[in-house]
Structure 1
Amino acid sequence: MTTAVVSGGTRGIGRALSLRLAALGYRVIALYRGDGPAAEQTERAGAGRITALRCDLTRPDEIHAVSARITGEYGAPSVLVNNAGVNRDRSFLSMTAEDWDMVLATNLSGPFHLSRALAPVMVEAGGGSIVNIASTTAIRPRSNGANYCASKAGLIQLTKCLALELAPHIRVNALLPGFTDTDEVTERYRLDDPERLAAVLDTVPARRLGTTDDMADALEYLVSTRSSYLTGQQLVVDGGHFMG
């Protein structure tokens, strides 16, 4: 059974990505930091194809330890999805050094260290696909998110650099979700308020929020042979909200 690794793979978009890869026949290693109940629920939903492993992506030592465990027990993955991310939204003038460091460590350094740990064994095993989950705020700034926007913009540039250096063995692409119907997005943008939701939908030509299945559909394309000539690219899935 071919292995896939999904960081932040037990909640929100990451959970949908883990479940889709499991449905495609992968043995999925879903990394999580602290939500044990969500990890257990995702394992159960995966019907034996998903294993959740704890890893704090702000700690390179934990990344190297879990990567060694993955390769030792399951072999080299053919798919790596760098999905884990955090927000600490504040205005720039009130943003603390801790706010900045935590977001950059998770959203940008985490993918670097995890890719650096797993890419060599992926190359040795014949290659594969890395998909970095960025955000449309990587290319379209927003208020109160200088740390998050910068981290995701950096992730796009990291995607391009890895695509150059890991070719032709590993394809590396970025998936950029727009407004997606998850608990985290609802809370951050207060979309449980009908007026705020209506205001957001007015900016989206598709007139709806994205679903986690929309993102899983995009991931399925990016890891399949149908995208075999695609690397170093950004796939924006946002209902037309941003047209660059």
Structure 2
Amino acid sequence: MITGAGSGIGRASAQAFAREGAKLALLDQNEAAAEATAVETGGIVVPVDVTDAAEVEKALERAAESMGGIDGLLNSAGILSSKSFGSIDPEHWRKVLDVNLTGTFLVCQAALPYLLKAPGAAIVNIASGQALLPSLTGSAYAASKAGVMMFTKCLAMELAPNIRANTICPGATATPMTDSEIPPEDTVRRQKLADAYAMKRLCVPEDIANGILYLMSNEASAVTGIALAVDNGRTYH
């Protein structure tokens, strides 16, 4: 089950899982975008606002019913904020944390009864390289993603040995979310961003999807509670 499946990392992950033969439930607030992913992957579309607890519970019930259970959960839904601390109002702060952190909590909690019934179940939550090493702006985003990282470590402790829980921390990735902050045509700013990374490039969604695929797979059966940086060498975590 994938939240934020309509674009970016969520969509690339759905494609990667589909190639491995997985049944998929594609959750997204943007139903049309999720439908486009479904055409590529064969997954079922479940529209949901991850900040609404009642919607989340119904969405998880529908997803579990359609797939005959849930054995893997990827929380990819999120929003970006690069506002400086001095310019953040309380409403903006709450919105960023509601989507990125509380949304992840609500989905994990609603999924728990289904995951407990599935041998080898796994959770992967998407945090950010900003959770490991913040930039000069974006404190709300960094705080929300650091919260996701620590929340996932807590899940790993509480849910073992039945369920593994790991975080993936992407570097700047060429997704619609990133494009909304730094448009592709702004090559100067994008190159300046890339120059902060050892590999001198931005990630692409497939880079992150490959890491997620590993963490969700049986090959990672001894891996839980980690924060895996896939960031072209920005944090050296």
- Count of residue pairs brought into register by the alignment: 237
Runs of 4+ that moved beyond 3 A = none
2:147 matched to 1:151? no
Moved more, 67-76 or 149-158: 67-76
1:1-244 to 2 correspondences below 5 Å: 5-33=1-29, 35-46=30-41, 49-244=42-237
Cα deviation, 1:2-35, whole Å, max 9, x if unaligned, reads xxx00001111110011111111111111111x3
Contact 1:40 1:52 in 2 (8 A): yes
Contact 1:6 1:14 in 2 (8 A): yes
- Listed as ranges, the gaps of 5+ residues in structure 1 are none
Q: Distance in 2 between matches of 1:107 and 1:155?
A: 7
Q: Counterpart amino acid of 2:33? A: A
Contact 1:78 1:122 in 2 (8 A): yes
Contact 2:71 2:114 in 1 (8 A): no
- Listed as ranges, the gaps of 5+ residues in structure 2 are none
Contact 1:58 1:102 in 2 (8 A): no
Moved more, 184-193 or 130-139: 184-193
Q: Distance in 1 between matches of 2:32 and 2:25?
A: 16
Q: Distance in 2 between matches of 1:201 and 1:151?
A: 23
Q: RMSD value over aligned CA atoms?
A: 1.5
Cα deviation, 1:54-85, whole Å, max 9, x if unaligned, reads 10011111111111222233222111001100
Q: What is the deviation of 1:217?
A: 0.9
Q: What is the deviation of 1:181?
A: 1.5
Q: Distance in 1 between matches of 2:202 and 2:112?
A: 34
TM-score by length of 1: 0.92
Q: Distance in 1 between matches of 2:7 and 2:93?
A: 23
Q: Counterpart amino acid of 2:228? A: L
Q: Distance in 2 between matches of 1:105 and 1:75?
A: 29
Q: Counterpart amino acid of 2:158? A: E
Q: Distance in 2 between matches of 1:227 and 1:201?
A: 30
Moved more, 24-33 or 194-203: 194-203
